[in-house]
Structure 1
Amino acid sequence: MSFSWLMNATMGAFLLPPLNLILMCGLGLWMRRRWPRLGLGVSIVALVVLTLISTRFGASLFITPLERLNPPLLLPKDANAQAIVVLGGGRIAAAPEYGGQDIPSSATLQRIRYAATLQRETALPVLVTGGQPEGALASEASIMARVLQEDFSVPVRWIEGASNNTAENAQYSFRILHAAGVRRILLVTDALHMQRAKLVFEQMGLEVIPAPTIFISTMRSTPADFLPMSLHNASYAMHEWLGLAWYGLRHRNLAQ
């Protein structure tokens, strides 16, 4: 298991909902002993924010600005790219219906499905990238390559299976692509994740044409958007906002 991955996951748990707001509510309750009104106010604010962002409407306040930064790729043939790069997005471990082998998560499956569509339209070679930060035996990249080849009949030219985060996806993929003379790529990942991924791949010196998939903000609105249902989308969007800030400070000189 990657220590850096574990540390990032732990820090994220404390900085992102629901734990950060639960801790804020607990802080408010503790403060009530000495400052009753202030402590009550802090707890109420935490609960209100927690409720708001668990609605699709509240989550959209964080999601929509990110997704609008990189619109869908409409004419992939005209992009003059040299390769398609697909980022891993997690796995389902030991899936019993597949004989106990690891399979792509829902997000990863949607990414490789879109990559297969792009490959059929452009005939470009494909690179898949993703390691095993949680300590699995097989890399995400190898799982993605297997599914692309077996289920979508799409050949995979390069498998990068050593990276444990987006910055490493960019670094290790660049080494492979640079050796192959590739500089201009179609980059496939979630629309929410695209801005951060695009920036780090560009910092490596690659020309990036964003090919985002899984747009959440364009889903049809319903009255249920105002009901608290899930924190997943809001937490994911906040993770990306924090990631953009962190990468801007920590990974601004990747190519050096």
Structure 2
Amino acid sequence: MNTDLLVSTLTHVVLLPPVCLLLTAAAGLLVSRRNRRAGRALTGMSLALLLVLFTNAGARLLMAPLERLAPPLDLARIDGAGAIVVLAAGRLEHAPEYGGHDIPDLTALARLRYGAHLHHKTGLPLLVTGGQGTPDGRHEPKARSMERALREDFRTPVAWVEDASTTTAENAAFSARILNTSGVQRILLVTDALHMARARRVFERNGLQVIPAPTMFYGAGPLMPLDFVPSASALQKSYYASYELAGLAWYRLREAIGSN
């Protein structure tokens, strides 16, 4: 397992809400055996913060700084772009309604829809990137199911398929190799607004000029009363934003260490 994937896995399991806050609350219970006031305060603060992150209003506090870094694309400012790159997300395995094939999940589908929209607006060729196929063939690489969805469901051709990458960093490195052989240096990069800052960073580090083309702005629109009501979907957004903030911090730390 490479370092990026190891950090990603560790972050998913331990370092993000709700697990990190539940662990902190449990630690508070242990501390309370020696110092009741401090232990109760730690547990109470952890559970209170968890409750905040269970609301859309709380999730927006984490999403806002990431979405400010990724304003919507202005099609008047894409001069020189030679391709559209769409990043993979998750997948639904063995979808029975599609003959048992793996299909893109809702997040990946939103990216594909916007990639197809941009292709029909600009005529630029598409590259889809994402791997994690299995040697036994039970699961195909994500990019393959993305290509099929674009071709069959969106009537949109795909020029290049990068199907070996396992992380965003590898998405960038392997896609750059393909695009360099075709003379493409400037791209429209399609991913979620929350993911864009981290994705843009690694694509530029691999020598590509990136025009961000973000989609899925979860924090758009005014706050409503229901945004203060706890929900599982709000916690999912808090988790996603926390993961992206942690990933961006990891990239910056690694670059800082490497520059010394």
1:24-35 aligned at under 5 Å gives the runs 24-35=24-35
Q: Which secondary structure does the structure 2 equivalent of 1:195 belong to? A: helix
Question: Matched residue pairs, number?
Answer: 254
**Alpha-carbon separation, structure 1, partners of 2:224 and 2:194:** 21
For 1:234-253, list aligned pairs within 5 A: 234-250=238-254
Mapped pair 1:151 → 2:150: no
Q: Is the 8 A contact 1:77 1:121 kept in 2?
A: no
Equivalent residue, structure 2, for 1:97: 97
Equivalent in the alignment of 1:41: 41
> What letter matches 2:247 in structure 1?
G
**Residue in structure 2 matching 1:218, options 198, 217, 220:** 220
| Match in the other structure for 1:228 | 230
Structure 1 gaps of 5+ residues are: none
1:156 aligned partner, one-letter code: V
TM-score of the pair, normalised by structure 2: 0.92
Aligned equivalent of 1:113: 113
Identity %: 49
Contact 2:84/2:189 (8 A) holds in 1: yes
Distance 1:253 1:142 in 2: 36
- Change in CA separation of 1:248 and 1:42 when aligned onto 2, cut-off 3 Å: same
Residues 175 and 187 of structure 1: CA distance in aligned 2, closer, same or farther (over 3 Å): same
1:2–1:105 CA distance, 2 compared to 1 (3 A): farther
Q: What is the aligned partner in structure 1 of residue 57 from structure 2?
A: 57
Q: Given that residues 76 and 121 in structure 1 are in contact (C-alpha distance below 8 angstroms), is that contact kept between their aligned partners in structure 2? A: no
Q: Distance in 1 between matches of 2:22 and 2:163?
A: 36
Change in CA separation of 1:204 and 1:252 when aligned onto 2, cut-off 3 Å: farther
SS in 1 for 2:219: coil
Provide the rounded CA distance (Å) in 2 between the counterparts of 1:9 and 1:21: 18
In structure 2, which of residues 189, 192, 198 is the aligned counterpart of residue 190 of structure 1?
A: 192
- How far 1:5 sits from its partner (Å)? 3.8
Aligned to 1:11: 11
User: Do the aligned partners of 1:76 and 1:122 also contact (CA within 8 Å) in 2?
Assistant: no
- Deviation of the 1:252 alpha carbon: 7.2
The Cα shift of 1:68 comes to 1.1
SS at match of 1:182: coil
The 1:76/1:90 distance shift into structure 2, 3 A limit, reads farther
Asked if the contact 1:187–1:198 (Cα under 8 Å) also holds between the matched residues in 2, the reply is yes
The whole-number CA distance in structure 1 between the counterparts of 2:149 and 2:212 is: 23
Please name the residue that 2:141 is paired with: 139
Specify the SS of the correspondent of 2:183: coil
Query: TM-score, normalized by length of structure 1?
Result: 0.93
Contact 2:133 2:140 in 1 (8 A): no
**Cα displacement (A) at 1:155:** 0.7
Name whichever of 74-83 and 92-101 sits farther off.
74-83
Determine if contact 2:78/2:211 at 8 Å carries over to the other structure: no
Q: Does the 8 A contact of 1:28 with 1:41 survive in 2?
A: yes
Q: Within 2, Cα distance between the matches of 1:207 and 1:224?
A: 41
1:23 counterpart residue number? 23
Q: Distance in 2 between the 1:212 and 1:76 partners?
A: 15
Q: Structure 2: 5+ residue runs without aligned partners?
A: none
Matches of 1:78 and 1:169 in 2, distance apart? 22
Structure 1: how far apart are the matches of 2:237 and 2:132?
Answer: 24
Q: What displacement does 1:57 show?
A: 0.5
Structure 2: how far apart are the matches of 1:134 and 1:20? 31
Q: Secondary structure at the match of 2:103?
A: strand
The Cα RMSD (Å) is 2.1
Cα distance in structure 2, aligned partners of 1:133 and 1:7: 21
Indicate conservation of the 8 Å contact 2:102/2:139, yes or no. no
Inter-partner Cα distance in structure 2 for 1:76 and 1:102: 36
Amino acid at match of 1:35: N
Deviation (angstroms), 1:248: 1.7
